[in-house]
Structure 1
Amino acid sequence: MNIEEKTSITFRNLQERNMSFDTVFTRIVSFMNRNPIGEYRLMIGTDSQVHAKHTTFITGIVIQNKRKGAWACIRKVIVPRKVLRLHEKISYETTLTEEVVSLFTEEKKNQLIDIVLPYIYQGSTFAIEGHIDIGSGARNKTREFVNEMVARIESIGIEPKIKPESFVASSYANKYTK
């Protein structure tokens, strides 16, 4: 993704529209700074919905302080056709998650880690997770793609989560695909 593409990505939530990634990052930093002694999870995941003439892809970013709240936003991408092949759909969802994760540069990740670092002996933690809308259950049609998508998320240095633990993709992002 080049600089122009990165600056054209926008996010929104119920309070704000057309947020740049820098604005999103500032919101995450502010959320964490309010209570630096916390168990933080930065979770990114994508879900999609096929409609009559297009497919809507929603990528969610959620920063959660366990048992103390969360801040979240979404990015919406519309593909002007029905994406019907399951592998293509799951693969593109994973690609969109990877794109958003790539915006969290090492410098930005370190900035977030530095917020909790002075408080690790008081129980502060920080993790980054990639939520994939797939499951390994015997009845799940996506099970054959689990190893491939998990390997992709691991290869970018974050912890992959699949159903039922991938709630940013399967619940939060899913809510906005309709």
Structure 2
Amino acid sequence: MDFFHPRKGRCSLEQMIEGIQSFVREDENAEYKIVIGTDSQTRNGETLFVTAIIVQRIGKGAVFYYTRFHHRAMKDLRYRIYRETEYSLACVEMLKEKGFFRFFSNLPMEIHLDVGQKGETRKLIQEVVGWVTSVGYTAKIKPESYAASAVADRFTK
């Protein structure tokens, strides 16, 4: 699976992990948070999913990477939101398998969901937040879910 850094371009999972480790080593005394979120866009017969992985140095910037998944067009909003949540959680599992959290075991982590109190997605909040919290992660919704609604969204266009 390929990841992308906005300035460095394409990189492997291992290179992404090394980049994040370097970012954290620059200021080991700072406070950090890991945020993962997915957004999607359907057009031209396909749905593009983008998952963003952000490591935020609280009050002092952040580094982020993203990956893309192509799927045949999904018109059903519920199914698309479920798939977005699934991709975010799968990303966490992939990072776990690569030992990412041995280095970052103390860092708080949030899963950002592209749902909010306004619009059609409000009906799905309880379901997807429940899913994320039931597997042990903190879930954020709009307007606090910037990983999905701002960062990932930018790369679905």
TM-score normalised by L of structure 2: 0.92
1:46-76 Cα distance to aligned partner (Å, 9 max, x none): 0011112211110001101011111111101
Identity %, equivalent residues: 31
1:18 Cα deviation (Å)? 3.4
**2:152 equivalent to 1:152:** no
AA partner of residue 74 (structure 1): Y
- Which structure 1 residue ranges, 5 or more long, are not aligned? 1-8, 115-125
1:175 Cα deviation (Å)? 0.5
AA partner of residue 139 (structure 2): P
Cα distance in 2 for partners of 1:177, 1:86 equals 16
Residues 148, 57 of structure 1: CA spacing in aligned structure 2 closer, same or farther, 3 A cutoff?
A: same
- Which structure 2 residue ranges, 5 or more long, are not aligned? none
Corresponding position of 1:30? 22
1:136-178 Cα distance to aligned partner (Å, 9 max, x none): x2x3211111111112212332211111110000000000101
In the TM superposition, 1:52-91 aligns within 5 A as 52-80=44-72, 82-91=73-82
> In the comparison of the two structures, how many residue pairs are matched?
156
- Identify the structure with the greater strand proportion: 2
In angstroms, what is the RMSD of aligned CA positions? 1.5
Residues 67, 37 of structure 1: CA spacing in aligned structure 2 closer, same or farther, 3 A cutoff?
A: same
TM-score normalised by L of structure 1: 0.82
Which 4+ residue blocks in structure 1 deviate beyond 6 angstroms? none
SS at match of 2:9: coil
Corresponding position of 1:170? 149
CA contact (8 A) 1:61 1:72 kept: yes
Cα distance in 1 for partners of 2:100, 2:78 equals 32
Cα distance in 1 for partners of 2:154, 2:66 equals 11
AA partner of residue 95 (structure 1): E
